[in-house]
């Protein structure tokens, strides 16, 4: 398995990736199939494309802040 940073990836490429995963975007936020903003599981804030983090071996998308990432590792640490 290979880890890929999304920091240098263009917005258009991120939107294409989201579509492949069954999500969408309005150009700023990650959207579900109904067009609603996806909320970070841990902070319950809308996830912006520029700050999205797609987690290893999943299609879980969270905001790339330290709190959300640490909570994810607590919950799914066995994945690593």
Predicted local distance difference test score (pLDDT) of residue 42: 95
Predicted local distance difference test score (pLDDT) of residue 60: 85
Pairing of strands 61-63, 24-25: unpaired
Predicted local distance difference test score (pLDDT) of residue 2: 55
- Measured between alpha carbons, how far is 80 from 30 in angstroms, rounded to an integer? 25
Q: Domain residues of the chain, as ranges? A: 11-79
User: CA dist 78 to 15, 17, 37, 57, 71, Å?
Assistant: 29, 25, 28, 12, 13
pLDDT of 3 higher than 60: yes
Which two structure tokens, joined as six digits, stand for 8? 């240098």
Predicted local distance difference test score (pLDDT) of residue 79: 64
Predicted local distance difference test score (pLDDT) of residue 6: 80
Note the pLDDT tens digit of each residue in 15-70: 999 999 999 999 999 999 999 999 999 999 999 999 999 877 777 899 999 999 89
């Amino acid at each position: 398995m290979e880890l890929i940073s999304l920091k240098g990836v263009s917005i258009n490429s991120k939107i294409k990736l989201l579509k492949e995963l069954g999500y969408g975007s309005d150009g700023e936020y990650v959207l579900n199939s109904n067009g609603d903003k996806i909320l970070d599981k841990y902070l319950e804030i809308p996830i912006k494309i520029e700050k999205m983090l797609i987690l290893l071996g999943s299609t879980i998308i969270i905001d790339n802040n330290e709190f959300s990432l640490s909570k994810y590792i607590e919950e799914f640490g066995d994945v690593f």
